[in-house]
């Protein structure tokens, strides 16, 4: 858990520093900085998504994961948490919820969050999460300077999310092949692209409700034999129909 603790602390500290610096940054600069960050987030997500070796699995995971996420109303729960924090700590700014939700999603669904937490739980190697801590801490300064204290508060969401992955890693290690981890990371990259759309205010995408999709590749090896048989049956059916004509 040490890697996750360091990561959460880095975000909290970076967020506080961002708040201290925000008064010295003109609004026009903040807008441009946010747009630059949005574009950067998009590129990071795209580079991760392109690593997928099974597009059909990605599509299937996103569809089923979105259904699960909608049923669980993950996005609504994140926003309600942000609104609760806003009522408790806001002084009329009204940006805590937005900062909390955006930062929580950015810091949670990336490849480094998933792979780093798995490495931490399986091998005790925290190097990936330490590297992520440095990146998140610096970006938290920039995000908090424009989005407010909600960014720092997202450290709690990161601690819970990565902590759960780290603690559960030992129980699912037999299913975490290199291919499965790669697809989980690729789906995470695709969700980061969705976050960039929210940051750039292009279109509101409920990325939170898609988070379950990241973990569905774990179950693919179990259903793959049945899918293979189904495809063989379909091919046989098409061959039979083609033979009749």
Q: Give how far the C-alpha of residue 110 lies from the chain's centroid of Cα atoms, to the nearest Å.
A: 5
Q: pLDDT tens digits for 5-64? A: 999 999 999 999 988 887 767 778 777 877 887 888 788 788 888 888 888 888 999 999
Say if residues 114 and 165 touch (Cβ distance below 8 Å): yes
What is the reported pLDDT for 70? 92
Q: Residue 105's closest CA among 196, 233, 232, 44?
A: 196
What is the reported pLDDT for 241? 67
What is the reported pLDDT for 9? 94
Q: Could you tell me the sign of the dihedral formed by the alpha carbons of 70, 75, 79, 80, in that order?
A: positive
- Per-domain residue ranges of the chain: 2-218
Q: Phi/psi at 92 (nearest 5 deg)?
A: 100, 0
Which tokens is 70 given? Answer: 């909608």
Q: What's the pLDDT band for 159 if we cut at 50, 70, 90? A: very high
Q: How much is the pTM?
A: 0.71
DSSP string of 168-188?
A: HHHHHGGG--HHHHHHHHHHH
């Amino acid at each position: 858990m040490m890697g996750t603790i360091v990561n959460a602390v880095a975000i909290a500290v970076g967020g506080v520093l961002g708040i201290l610096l925000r008064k010295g940054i003109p609004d026009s600069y903040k807008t441009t900085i946010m747009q630059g960050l949005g574009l950067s987030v998009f590129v990071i997500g795209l580079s991760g998504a392109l690593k997928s070796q099974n597009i059909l699995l990605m599509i299937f995971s996103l569809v089923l994961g979105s259904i699960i996420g909608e049923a669980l109303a993950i996005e609504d729960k994140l926003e309600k948490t942000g609104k609760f924090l806003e009522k408790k700590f806001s002084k009329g700014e009204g940006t805590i919820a937005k900062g909390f939700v955006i930062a929580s999603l950015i810091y949670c669904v990336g490849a480094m969050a998933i792979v780093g937490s798995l490495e931490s739980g399986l091998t005790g190697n925290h190097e990936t999460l330490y590297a992520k801590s440095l990146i998140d801490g610096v970006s938290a300064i920039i995000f908090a300077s424009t989005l407010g204290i909600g960014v720092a508060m997202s450290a709690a969401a990161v601690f819970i999310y990565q902590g759960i992955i780290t603690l559960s890693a030992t129980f699912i290690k037999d299913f975490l092949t290199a291919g499965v981890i790669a697809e989980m990371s690729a789906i995470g990259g695709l969700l980061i692209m969705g976050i960039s759309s929210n940051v750039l205010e292009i279109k509101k995408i409920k990325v939170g409700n898609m988070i379950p999709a990241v973990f569905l590749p774990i179950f693919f090896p179990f259903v793959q034999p049945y899918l293979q048989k189904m495809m063989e049956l379909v091919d046989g059916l098409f061959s039979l129909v083609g033979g009749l004509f």
